[in-house]
């Protein structure tokens, strides 16, 4: 594999790192399709709810329901992933994504929407917090070597982030279509949710192409098991990730967009452009994360890129103008997501291979539960004050997470960082 900043840049940006199984292309493509849907839905959700007559608090409640429901589904996956086929579970999740989009385009009252949000796959954040995540991560980890694992997860995260950015840019289309056709905005927004369902259908077709033998690619590989010898380290990581996720739930993209709409009076087109560029910067940072991790280690990369990003987040509400607020958000985006591929790679590295599906779910479930608890609080804070207190609290809590992670895990090294004698 060529180095990042040398003449081998083209290899570095290739879809697959050296040694990765070709089946990973299907999962990376499905990740990109889902991310497009997540990108535009996360921006259109608050606009759609406001169009239906619901306020900031109701938006926060629905965001909480989506994350809580995702946590429950992910928990069920964690309990039964060692018994069921990962391919079958991914197919079922894609079907659920299709039904979610159709239901959101159909219902308008708050309680039906809340129920659909809880049982469906809607994602109010810019990152992937759905039940797809642990299923895909466990499969990817089995199809790549330790040396190339972080690079593969960087590509996985890159594709998700760049396609979510494209989706965010596309969030302006319903408003533009309504103006062009001289119609109300609501039907155009409902059409966007039907597009979300169609993207789920395309992901379904890709999952159906996964080989049934994917779960047993290596005949010598131990079958998947629930957590055993890795339990202690996984539970500790899960607790720390929960703190980070609770803070992240205060600034999920739907609520951050809502704050920008109300604070600066942004249009959908302007908001879409802002989140497009934040997504692009996040996407590019994943490759930098893999390069940095090879030199200073996974934990150091997670912590020392996250700290300045969180400081920028806490300062955003104090920005006196929109350009300064955007600058801080862009600076944050260039750094804040470097911990995503490194965190995933670290979890997959420090647990036994046969426990990876369970570890992926156990670290994802508390994150989803913690993230689900905070959007409703953020919605209440935004309803009470337009200052942006959720951003300040989120930045402070995330800084605390960074320092605790460094203190507890700086000496727990993955195999590729362990000296060989």
- Please answer whether residues 136 and 76 qualify as being in contact, where contact means their C-beta atoms are separated by less than 8 angstroms: no
Neighbouring CB atoms inside 10 A of 42's CB total: 27
- By C-alpha distance, which of 127, 64, 130, 348 is closest to 230? 348
Q: Which residues of the chain have pLDDT under 50?
A: 1-14, 18-19, 214-217, 219
**SS3 assignment, position 211:** coil
- By C-alpha distance, which of 245, 247, 267, 241 is closest to 389? 247
Q: How confident is the model at residue 1, as a pLDDT?
A: 34
Task: Count H helices and E strands in the chain, helices first.
Answer: 17, 0
Q: DSSP label at 396? A: H
Q: How confident is the model at residue 196, as a pLDDT?
A: 96
Which pLDDT tens digit goes with each residue over 399-416? Answer: 999 999 999 998 888 887
Q: How confident is the model at residue 48, as a pLDDT?
A: 92
pTM of the model: 0.74
- Distance of alpha carbon 314 from alpha carbon 20, whole angstroms: 39
Neighbouring CB atoms inside 10 A of 83's CB total: 8
Give the chain's end-to-end CA distance (angstroms, integer). Answer: 24
Q: Residues with Cβ < 8 Å from 419, sequence gap 6 or more?
A: none
**What are 325's two structure tokens?**
């607020």
By CB atoms closer than 10 A (0-12, 13-18, 19+), residue 213 is exposed
- Distance of alpha carbon 82 from alpha carbon 357, whole angstroms: 7
């Amino acid at each position: 594999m060529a180095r990042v900043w040398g003449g081998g840049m083209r290899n570095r940006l290739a879809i697959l790192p050296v040694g990765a199984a070709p089946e990973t292309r299907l999962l990376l493509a499905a990740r990109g399709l889902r991310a497009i849907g997540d990108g535009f839905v996360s921006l259109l959700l608050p606009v759609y709810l406001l169009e239906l007559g619901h306020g900031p608090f109701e938006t926060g409640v629905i965001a909480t329901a989506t994350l809580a429901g995702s946590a429950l589904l992910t928990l069920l996956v964690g309990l039964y992933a060692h018994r069921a086929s990962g391919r079958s579970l991914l197919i079922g999740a894609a079907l659920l994504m299709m039904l979610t989009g159709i239901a959101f385009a159909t219902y308008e009252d708050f309680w039906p929407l809340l129920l659909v949000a809880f049982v469906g796959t809607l994602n109010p954040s810019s990152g992937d917090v759905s039940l797809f995540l642990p299923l895909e991560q466990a499969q990817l980890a089995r199809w790549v070597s330790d040396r190339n694992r972080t690079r593969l997860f960087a590509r996985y995260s890159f594709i998700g982030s760049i396609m979510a950015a494209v989706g965010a840019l596309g969030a302006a289309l319903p408003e533009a279509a309504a103006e062009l056709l001289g119609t109300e905005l609501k039907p155009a927004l409902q059409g966007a949710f039907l597009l979300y369902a169609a993207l789920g259908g395309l992901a379904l077709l890709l999952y159906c192409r996964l080989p049934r033998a994917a779960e047993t690619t290596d005949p010598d590989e131990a079958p998947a098991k629930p957590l055993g010898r890795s339990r202690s380290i996984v539970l500790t990581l899960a607790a720390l990730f929960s703190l980070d996720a609770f803070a992240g739930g205060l600034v999920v993209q739907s609520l951050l967009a809502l704050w920008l709409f109300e604070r600066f009076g942004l249009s959908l087109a302007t908001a879409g452009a802002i989140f497009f560029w934040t997504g692009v910067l996040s996407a590019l940072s994943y490759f930098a994360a893999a390069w940095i991790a090879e030199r200073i280690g996974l934990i150091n990369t997670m912590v020392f890129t996250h700290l300045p990003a969180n400081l920028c987040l806490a300062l955003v509400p104090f920005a006196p103008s929109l350009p300064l607020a955007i600058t801080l958000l862009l600076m944050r985006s260039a750094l804040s997501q470097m911990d995503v591929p490194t965190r995933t790679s670290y979890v997959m590295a420090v647990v036994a291979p046969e426990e990876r599906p369970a570890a992926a779910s156990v670290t994802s479930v508390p994150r989803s539960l913690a993230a689900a608890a905070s959007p409703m609080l953020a919605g209440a804070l935004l309803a009470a004050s337009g200052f942006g207190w959720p951003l300040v609290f989120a930045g402070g809590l995330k800084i605390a997470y960074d320092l605790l992670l460094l203190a507890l895990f700086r000496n727990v090294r993955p195999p590729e960082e362990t000296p060989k004698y």
